[in-house]
Structure 1
Amino acid sequence: MTSESLARAIDTSWVLVAAFLVFFMQAGFAMVEAGFTRAKNAGNIVLKNLMDFSAGSVAYWLVGFALMYGASAAGLLGTSGFASPWSVTGLEWTGLPIEAFWMFQVVFAGTAATIVSGAMAERTRFASYLTFAFVISALIYPILGHWIWGGGWLARLAVPVKDFAGSTVVHSVGGWAALAGVLAVGARMGRFSQQGPRNGIEPAVAGHSLTLAALGVFILWFGWFGFNPGSTLGVTGDRAALAARVAVNTNLAAATGALAGLFLSKLHRGKFAVDAALNGTLAGLVAITAGAPYVSDIGALIIGVLGGATMYGATLLLEAWRVDDAVGAIPVHGVAGAVGTLAVGLFDLETGLLYGAGPAQLVSQLIAVVACFVWTFGVSWLAFAAIKAVMGLRVTPEEEAHGLDVHEHGVVAYPDFTAGHPVEPGAVTAPAMGASGR
């Protein structure tokens, strides 16, 4: 074996392991979403997280990869490789077999899709959500990805946009699609009473398991060490040191994001809030994803704080505007993703405004943030409107009250704790887990 072939084997193995870590993040999302929602919908949550990746994998193989990395048409979308991703050319720069690169990319597509699931939880028809999961994986995410990662128009600006592992490409796409979804489907029954939230940002409709939510956050933090360091696409040569730097910055931002969420909740609520620390962790991770290889450790610490702080503030705004995001996906992924993308324009060691390089990088980053919002929110809104008109988007009030597990799937997630609970939808006479629905 030559040194070149050995390096290729090592890099391919690294990227595949990183892809598997990112895939495991689906389990993290499932646990976060299940924990932050009610027990009567837990089965629906885990099935959505399984099936959005399943549908998304097929959609990305058929259409998405071609739109993202195929031959570019005016910098807007790819035009080659439909239903044949292995025929896409021009990816030799990766140094990887195209199958390995595709595998790494499809798990990112799955992440963007699954972000929407939690925000719309507890009142969305399963078939309608699955339809949107196919749309975002086949069309919405890949075209935005082409603009930045596929050599599209945002990559061709005088100062190209920098989004290393997807604060905008992945997370803001998921967050802004989630915003369109929650506006289209409306708030859960009882979510906003006359009295409003019980304590600051604490929801009037509480989730059933902080333990599951915390487990999900730990899984996601772990998976992020595939998400960000894996985006070096190798660990041979200088990329080994780069991957280590990315891992350190990822970890530091997660830590300060958690601290920001925790202490802001203490200042605002008077208590060290578990949910705020958990979502602060995720917001810090999302924020550093764009700039992990470009900033110093001090920059990473600050970006984590910015992610956690803006997540908390955005959550308060959604509450004030009576927008019902069941798990905080919009503040965590949409807002923190935008903040992290803009932060590159400030903290990049070579092109950042705070390092004397002028505002050009920051302007490019701002263009990317605005373009992502306009494209993703606009097309997602149209998609949800079409789904709503053709299939219906929201379950009936009775189905929502008694739980999607029973009505959509004919199951009860916790039968040992639900004595005498009926499984047949027609027999339902009370909420799945008692009067509170928990």
Structure 2
Amino acid sequence: METTAIFTANNVWMMVCTALVFFMHLGFSFLEIGLTRQKNTINILFKNFFVITVGLLLYAIGGFNLMYPGFEDGAMGIFKFAGWGIASPENGMTTAYADGGYTWWTDFLFQGMFAATAATIVSGAVAERIKLKSFMIFAIIYVGLIYPIVGSWKWGGGFLDAMGFYDFAGSTLVHSVGGWAALVAIYLLGARIGKFDSDGTSRAIPGHNLPLAAAGVLILWLGWFGFNGGSVLSADPALTSLTLVTTCLAAAAGGVASAIFSNFLYKNFDLTMFMNGVLGGLVGITAGADQMGPLDAVIIGIIAGIIIVLGVSLIDKLKLDDPVGAVAVHLICGIWGTLAVGIFGAMAGFDQFLIQLAGVGIVGAFCVITSFLIMLLVKVISGGSIRVEKEEELKGLDISEHGMDAYADFRLNQH
């Protein structure tokens, strides 16, 4: 009876965490909308709906079994496919499955919510100038194939897991996987019209709704309670509580550090830097949230907050255009968080740092190469270009791609 009660409690907690991770997609939507221009709102919403709906379907069709294929002892642990569909095994609803932490169906749904996040990261970076169909094709291939393959290397028991690489909730396996693709995409797309002057000077293109962006960040922070808290894979009281404490402290430290450092450099209190600092802290702690103490989490968050400010500046200097700061937040802070596992907390040590560094390099190389290949394929399919025409970009993608306006002028309907 006690075992059944614990199993039920674990499973309920995992379902709550699944709901929180799902809620993060609203946060991503709000953040991307708020930091971009009004004329592209519907386009961003459409992409976010597409990512979560198609991502779940792809994960059900084959992604789950590609990510958790059941590598045999002695296998290379690089690629295996366990078959189509998500039919539950005989023990999938009992304590014999997943050490009594959750059921097969909860496992699928929780992991499926993670799967779509990688493409959502790309969505924000390529906002306001990519063809909708081009993004859709890219997202299908990346979420359906690349993300689960990389995930299988660690979480599916593959070769990264065998070599001792550690990534608790996805600083590399989720955030950097999306960040590398975002970097490749914005490089191939080019900057938005008006982002850089003829001499290369960067010009700010303000978002149209910072309150909405702020709501998005706070929703994402809330969702991280499920993102990291659920990665405990049970309702273990001590480990779950520690994970949520380190997650929140890193987020707080990242936001404060980013705001202060940005003010030191630019002599203003930039809200967008503050918000991205919070997200950078969250991404930074994600790889080792269960391994760190409170002080470790604060230090990791502070460094992530400083990295955000420097990362955004670096992207501008490289003449790359990232409207929402996705590369700085998810890629650069994802790398930092992964390396931090070897510097702080229970797994700290030079050997572990080298393992973490090797993992970052392997995943980075694979994601960059595959992203380039996928984008080249998409370019051919899209008629030679993945970018909308100049007139369409100036008009806004809401009108040119959807024939709709996100904010209808109701005064026109008044009599």
Regarding TM over 0.5, the answer is yes
Which residue number corresponds to residue 38 of structure 1? 37
1:191: how far off? Answer: 0.9
1:41: how far off? Answer: 0.2
Which residue number corresponds to residue 404 of structure 1? 397
Q: Which amino acid aligns with 1:317?
A: L
Q: Which amino acid aligns with 2:403?
A: G
Is this contact kept in 2: 1:256–1:284, CA < 8 A? yes
Is this contact kept in 2: 1:94–1:233, CA < 8 A? no
What CA distance in whole angstroms lies between the structure 2 residues aligned with 1:211 and 1:26? 17
1:190: how far off? Answer: 0.9
Tell me if 1:375 matches 2:366: yes
1:88: how far off? Answer: 10
Which residue number corresponds to residue 103 of structure 1? 109
- CA deviations on 1:44-72 (whole Å, 9 max, x unpaired) are 11111111111111111112111110132
Tell me if 1:362 matches 2:353: yes
What does 1:210-249 correspond to in 2, within 5 Å? 210-235=210-235, 239-249=236-246
SS of equivalent to 2:85: coil
1:194: how far off? Answer: 3.1
What CA distance in whole angstroms lies between the structure 2 residues aligned with 1:150 and 1:9? 24
1:254: how far off? Answer: 0.2
SS of equivalent to 2:169: coil
| Aligned with 2:381 (options 385, 390, 410) | 390
Aligned residues: 404
Tell me if 1:331 matches 2:332: no
Is this contact kept in 1: 2:64–2:86, CA < 8 A? no
- CA deviations on 1:302-328 (whole Å, 9 max, x unpaired) are 111111111211111110010111110
1:197: how far off? Answer: 5.4
1:6: how far off? Answer: 1.3
Tell me if 1:186 matches 2:190: yes
Is this contact kept in 2: 1:341–1:365, CA < 8 A? yes
Is this contact kept in 1: 2:200–2:319, CA < 8 A? no
Tell me if 1:169 matches 2:173: yes
What CA distance in whole angstroms lies between the structure 2 residues aligned with 1:308 and 1:88? 47
Which residue number corresponds to residue 132 of structure 1? 138
Q: Which amino acid aligns with 1:326?
A: P
- CA deviations on 1:208-240 (whole Å, 9 max, x unpaired) are 1111110100000010001101111111xxx21
- CA deviations on 1:253-306 (whole Å, 9 max, x unpaired) are 000110111011101110010010010000000000011110111000011111
Which residue number corresponds to residue 301 of structure 2? 304
- CA deviations on 1:336-372 (whole Å, 9 max, x unpaired) are 00000000000022x313xxxxx11111110111111
Q: Which amino acid aligns with 2:393?
A: E
Moved more, 388-397 or 171-180: 388-397
Q: Which amino acid aligns with 2:325?
A: G
Is this contact kept in 2: 1:57–1:106, CA < 8 A? yes
What CA distance in whole angstroms lies between the structure 1 residues aligned with 2:148 and 2:320? 27
What CA distance in whole angstroms lies between the structure 1 residues aligned with 2:284 and 2:363? 15
Which residue number corresponds to residue 424 of structure 1? none
Which residue number corresponds to residue 426 of structure 1? none
What does 1:43-192 correspond to in 2, within 5 Å? 43-72=42-71, 74-84=76-86, 86-87=88-89, 92-95=97-100, 96-157=102-163, 160-192=164-196
Which residue number corresponds to residue 7 of structure 2? 8
1:128: how far off? Answer: 1.3
SS of equivalent to 1:346: coil
Q: Could you say if the C-alpha distance between residues 402 and 232 of structure 1 is closer, same or farther in structure 2, counting changes exceeding 3 Å?
A: same
What does 1:268-283 correspond to in 2, within 5 Å? 268-283=265-280
Which residue number corresponds to residue 205 of structure 1? 205
Q: Which amino acid aligns with 1:145?
A: G
Tell me if 1:20 matches 2:22: no
Q: Could you say if the C-alpha distance between residues 352 and 418 of structure 1 is closer, same or farther in structure 2, counting changes exceeding 3 Å?
A: farther
What CA distance in whole angstroms lies between the structure 1 residues aligned with 2:214 and 2:29? 11
What CA distance in whole angstroms lies between the structure 2 residues aligned with 1:87 and 1:138? 22
What CA distance in whole angstroms lies between the structure 2 residues aligned with 1:305 and 1:313? 13
TM-score by length of 1: 0.89
SS of equivalent to 1:393: coil
- CA deviations on 1:101-150 (whole Å, 9 max, x unpaired) are 01100000111121100000000111111111111211111111111111
SS of equivalent to 1:415: coil
Q: Which amino acid aligns with 1:11?
A: N
1:186: how far off? Answer: 1.4
Is this contact kept in 1: 2:70–2:157, CA < 8 A? no
Tell me if 1:416 matches 2:409: yes
TM-score by length of 2: 0.94
1:398: how far off? Answer: 0.6
What CA distance in whole angstroms lies between the structure 1 residues aligned with 2:395 and 2:103? 49
Q: Which amino acid aligns with 2:37?
A: R
What CA distance in whole angstroms lies between the structure 2 residues aligned with 1:68 and 1:13? 24
What CA distance in whole angstroms lies between the structure 1 residues aligned with 2:99 and 2:27? 28
- CA deviations on 1:392-418 (whole Å, 9 max, x unpaired) are 411111110000001111111112289
What CA distance in whole angstroms lies between the structure 1 residues aligned with 2:153 and 2:378? 26
